């Protein structure tokens, strides 16, 4: 349980007094340190932790401390001016896009943290797009103004060029780069300088008054547009009061017409207090961002029916499973019985907590709009809905992108093999963007995710958290083989060993089928040339032989095999003999039927900025891609559709990131199998031969 610095437990708040805010942006923008200073400023922590020391409230996982990046969302609540603010610190690395989508489902607003530089990072774009998709209010916090290369005006120009009038400056930096010392708040026309947990408030210094008046006028213009009554008053020449401006900005952010820009330094804490003020004054409470079921809105009513959403799951080998729940309606108390509509199961809530980073504060209950943790639940997982006992209300699951990067994994020891399945199952419950499968063709265990860092952290979690060690390898391409012409052959198996011999003789005809036809077997033997009881042995012999391939040991598909003649011996014939004869006959017929290797082809959709289209097309051509068309999204981006061999997609997630500086993304799904070109066939055959020699 958390011991709060002031010695007081968190209170229960009504929905209008709660703010659920995601702190988002590019990795390294300063989100975690901003949360540290906000928590410290609000007396929610006794000191400010650091990333270098691994002492921050948000990044507490050993892997986060080791890598110095956030790899999982953290929920940090604090109290400010009789309001509760639930901050969700979201990882900024694109590999952890699932956390961004989950946060967007349960928050009413996003604060997008960005560095004071002219170019916007890809993490900014991803966060902005997520906020737009989910209809969230947005606020921008410009960080690192104290740095030598800080370019505040360049950033503001970029924002205005891209998003137009909706970008509204509500503060001005005092001092430039190393001389940055505070923010001039245009709402109150005062300068705020951070001093420990408080702020020093000063009058506007000389040289800033004219700029402040000009920008304040633009801020009032934006505020007036948010409310008809304010617009009327403003047009009649009356100046708006600070409260009216704040109300107008709130209405504007709720509708998406206004995106306030605030300033500060996450390294020194300057701007954290004014940011907290603006969260309460200008970002919407849960009553403005309601969940929906079909066309029906769910009222954020603590007295309504219980409806909650599990947006995050963690699994600790010692503590057990923890489910983070956002309540959209009703109230939840310890010892309540809840129903999971996914499977209709009922479960008693024994352990109910407020989340606080790594720690948790026990609570007897909470109401709509708030966030809690249900501990030691046996059945809940990310994406589940909880509702009152016997109810079946179900919110939509998370809409997550499919995995785009994969690796083969092998347990190092028998002990690791025994523990791998259950350990991975727990990790998969935490992260629905991961997949763990076994390829039936290659018999390889595959781990699939959103990128190399994503999968590396999973491998490290297995070892650090569950003591399971695995080796990783490149994912094997599931090639197949087929024939391209009809052929016949006789398979004869004859062996005399002094006693009872072995004799089987069959004549086979094979012919290609359409792609996807699989394997067909037919019997055209007449006159008893092969007794009927041996025909199944012939089919079995062909089936076993086709798994060993013709050219490179890949399974043979899309052909029909017909046994049409043969002979037998009254004494020496047996099922084993006919099975062996069929295998011999199949191999000889297949070798004469112009065998070819088939490769899997994926259909891919690549979403890239317009300026990168040429480079992406050129790269796809080198991967033997077949273009299927392009479409513009109308937002300066183009979607390129293509068919690309799976063998050429192994490193595409990383290469696309490099080509587009992280701004490109893609989706893929299996399309079909097609003939592998001759040159590539030779490479694959040689590689397989070398593989087999190395094994033997």
Which pLDDT band holds residue 2 (cuts at 50, 70, 90)? very low
Closest CA to 20 of 136, 121, 130: 136
* pLDDT tens profile 652-664: 999 999 999 889 9
Q: Is the pLDDT of residue 144 over 80?
A: yes
Q: Is the pLDDT of residue 183 over 50?
A: yes
CB atoms within 10 A of CB 252: 23
Which pLDDT band holds residue 238 (cuts at 50, 70, 90)? confident
pLDDT recorded at residue 101: 95
The region, left, alpha or beta by phi > 0 then psi within -120 to 50, assigned to residue 165 is alpha
pLDDT recorded at residue 688: 87
| CA separation for the pair 534, 263 (Å, rounded) | 84
pLDDT recorded at residue 197: 65
pLDDT recorded at residue 294: 73
Q: For residue 677, what are its two tokens?
A: 């070109």
pLDDT recorded at residue 6: 41
Give, to the nearest 10 degrees, the angle between helix 242-255 and helix 228-235: 130
* pLDDT tens profile 579-618: 999 999 999 999 999 999 999 999 999 999 999 999 999 9
Q: Is the pLDDT of residue 119 over 60?
A: yes
Please give the sequence-ordered ranges of beta strands (E in DSSP) within 107-152, or none if there are none: 109-115, 137-143
pLDDT recorded at residue 100: 96
Q: Is the pLDDT of residue 537 over 80?
A: yes
% residues pLDDT > 70 (the chain)? 97
The residue that leads in pLDDT, 675 or 238, is: 675
* pLDDT tens profile 396-410: 888 888 899 999 999
Interval 415-425 mean pLDDT: 93
Interval 530-547 mean pLDDT: 96
CB atoms within 10 A of CB 177: 16
pLDDT recorded at residue 198: 65
Please give the sequence-ordered ranges of beta strands (E in DSSP) within 196-286, or none if there are none: 198-202, 259-263
Closest CA to 223 of 210, 238, 209: 238
Q: For residue 24, what are its two tokens?
A: 């988002």
| CA separation for the pair 311, 131 (Å, rounded) | 16
pLDDT recorded at residue 579: 97
Given the DSSP bridges, would you call strands 167-169 and 259-263 parallel, antiparallel or unpaired?
parallel
pTM (predicted TM-score): 0.89
Q: Is the pLDDT of residue 194 over 90?
A: no
- Structural domains in the chain, CATH included, are 15-288 (3.40.50.300), 297-388 (2.40.30.10), 405-474 (3.30.70.870), 481-593 (3.30.230.10), 598-680 (3.30.70.240)
pLDDT recorded at residue 290: 74
Q: What is the mean pLDDT of the chain?
A: 91
Please give the sequence-ordered ranges of beta strands (E in DSSP) within 271-319, or none if there are none: 292-293, 296-297, 307-316
| CA separation for the pair 312, 99 (Å, rounded) | 8
* pLDDT tens profile 450-494: 999 999 999 999 999 899 999 999 999 999 999 999 999 999 999
Asked if residue 140 lies in contact with residue 262, where contact means CB atoms within 8 angstroms, the answer is yes
The region, left, alpha or beta by phi > 0 then psi within -120 to 50, assigned to residue 147 is beta
| CA separation for the pair 182, 201 (Å, rounded) | 10
Give the lowest-confidence range in 19-28, 284-293, 354-363, 416-425.
284-293
| CA separation for the pair 127, 105 (Å, rounded) | 13
| CA separation for the pair 549, 441 (Å, rounded) | 12
| CA angle (602 as vertex; 598, 608 as ends), nearest 5 | 150
Q: Is the pLDDT of residue 102 over 70?
A: yes
% residues pLDDT > 90 (the chain)? 76
Interval 240-268 mean pLDDT: 93
Interval 152-178 mean pLDDT: 94
| CA separation for the pair 429, 453 (Å, rounded) | 19
Q: Which long-range contacts (CB under 8 A, 24 or more apart) does 357-360 make?
A: 357/57, 357/58, 357/60, 357/74, 357/75, 357/76, 358/57, 358/60, 359/1, 359/2, 360/1, 360/2, 360/322
pLDDT recorded at residue 65: 86
Query: What are the C-alpha distances in Å from 273 to residues 13, 268, 424?
Result: 21, 12, 42
Q: Which residues are registered as beta bridge partners of 504?
A: 493
Interval 337-365 mean pLDDT: 91
Which pLDDT band holds residue 695 (cuts at 50, 70, 90)? low
Interval 48-52 mean pLDDT: 90
Closest CA to 90 of 134, 149, 46, 53: 134
Q: Is the pLDDT of residue 635 over 80?
A: no
The residue that leads in pLDDT, 584 or 226, is: 584
pLDDT recorded at residue 498: 67
pLDDT recorded at residue 360: 87
DSSP state letters, 27-61: TTSSHHHHHHHHHHHTTS-SS---TTTT--SS--S
Q: Which residue has the tokens 């709060």?
A: 4
Q: For residue 443, what are its two tokens?
A: 């018999």
Q: Is the pLDDT of residue 99 over 90?
A: yes
Q: Is the pLDDT of residue 3 over 50?
A: no
Query: What are the C-alpha distances in Å from 224 to residues 135, 156, 214, 425, 527?
Result: 21, 22, 16, 53, 96
Which residues have CB under 8 Å from 274's CB, separation 6+?
A: 171, 183, 185, 192, 199, 262, 264
Which pLDDT band holds residue 1 (cuts at 50, 70, 90)? very low
């Amino acid at each position: 349980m958390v011991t709060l610095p002031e010695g007081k437990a968190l209170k229960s708040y009504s929905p209008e007094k709660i703010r659920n805010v995601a702190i988002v942006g590019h990795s390294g923008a300063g989100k975690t340190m901003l949360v540290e200073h906000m928590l410290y400023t609000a007396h929610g922590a006794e000191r400010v932790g650091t990333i270098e020391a691994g002492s921050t409230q948000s990044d507490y996982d050993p892997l986060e401390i080791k890598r110095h990046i956030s790899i999982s969302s953290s929920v940090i609540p604090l109290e400010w001016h009789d309001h509760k603010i639930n901050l969700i610190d979201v990882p900024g690395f694109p590999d952890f896009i699932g956390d961004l989508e989950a946060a967007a489902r349960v928050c009413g607003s996003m604060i997008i943290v960005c560095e004071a530089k002219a170019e916007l990072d890809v993490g900014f774009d991803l966060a902005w797009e997520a906020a737009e998709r989910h209809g969230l209010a947005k606020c921008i916090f410009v960080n690192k103004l104290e740095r030598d290369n800080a370019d505040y005006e360049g950033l503001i120009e970029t924002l205005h060029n891209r998003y137009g009038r909706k970008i509204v400056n509500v503060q001005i930096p005092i001092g430039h780069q190393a001389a940055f010392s505070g923010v001039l708040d245009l709402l109150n026309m005062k300068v705020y300088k951070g001093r420990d947990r408080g702020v020093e408030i000063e009058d506007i210094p000389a040289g800033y008054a004219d700029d402040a008046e000009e920008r304040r006028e633009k801020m009032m213009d934006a505020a007036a547009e948010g409310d008809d009554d304010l617009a009327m008053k403003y047009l009649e020449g009356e100046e708006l009061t600070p409260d009216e401006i704040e109300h107008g900005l709130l209405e504007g952010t709720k509708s998406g017409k206004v995106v306030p820009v605030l300033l500060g330094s996450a390294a020194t804490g300057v701007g954290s207090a004014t940011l907290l003020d603006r969260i309460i004054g200008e970002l919407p409470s849960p009553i403005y961002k309601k969940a929906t079921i079909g066309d029906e809105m769910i009222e954020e009513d603590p007295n309504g029916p219980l409806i909650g959403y599990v947006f995050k799951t963690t699994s600790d080998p010692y503590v057990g499973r923890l489910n983070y729940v956002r309540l959209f309606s009703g109230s939840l108390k310890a010892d309540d019985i809840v129903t999971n509509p996914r499977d209709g199961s009922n479960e008693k809530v024994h352990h109910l907590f407020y989340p606080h980073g790594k720690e948790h504060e026990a609570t007897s209950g909470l109401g709509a709009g708030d966030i809690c943790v249900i501990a030691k639940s046996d059945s809940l997982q990310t994406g589940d809905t909880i509702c009152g006992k016997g109810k079946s209300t179900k919110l939509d699951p998370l809409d997550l992108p499919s995995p785009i990067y994969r690796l083969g994994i092998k347990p190092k020891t028998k002990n690791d093999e025994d523990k791998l399945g259950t350990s991975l199952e727990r990790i998969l419950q935490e992260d629905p963007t991961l997949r763990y499968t076994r390829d039936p063709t290659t018999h390889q265990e595959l781990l699939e995710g959103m990128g190399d860092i994503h999968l590396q952290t999973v491998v490290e979690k297995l070892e650090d958290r569950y003591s399971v060690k695995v080796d990783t390898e490149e994912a094997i391409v599931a090639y197949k083989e087929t024939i391209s012409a009809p052929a016949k052959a006789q398979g004869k198996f004859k062996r005399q060993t002094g006693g009872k011999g072995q004799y089987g003789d069959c004549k086979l005809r094979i012919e290609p089928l359409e792609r996807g036809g699989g394997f067909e077997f037919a019997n055209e033997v007449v006159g008893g040339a092969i007794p009927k009881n041996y025909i199944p042995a012939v089919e079995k012999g062909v089936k076993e032989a086709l798994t060993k391939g013709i050219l490179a040991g890949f399974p043979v598909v899309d052909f029909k095999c017909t046994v049409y003649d043969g002979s037998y011996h009254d004494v020496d014939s047996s099922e084993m003999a006919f099975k062996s004869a069929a295998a011999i006959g199949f191999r000889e017929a297949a070798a004469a039927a112009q065998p070819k290797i088939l490769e899997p082809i994926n259909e891919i959709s690549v979403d890239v900025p317009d300026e990168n289209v040429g480079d992406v097309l050129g790269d796809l051509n080198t991967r033997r891609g077949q273009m299927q068309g392009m479409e513009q999204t109308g937002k300066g981006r183009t979607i390129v559709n293509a068919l690309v061999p799976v063998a050429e997609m192994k490193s595409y997630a990383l290469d696309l990131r490099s080509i587009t500086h992280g701004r490109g993304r893609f989706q893929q799904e299996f399309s079909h199998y097609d003939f592998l070109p001759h040159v590539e066939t030779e490479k694959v055959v040689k590689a397989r031969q070398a593989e087999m020699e190395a094994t033997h």
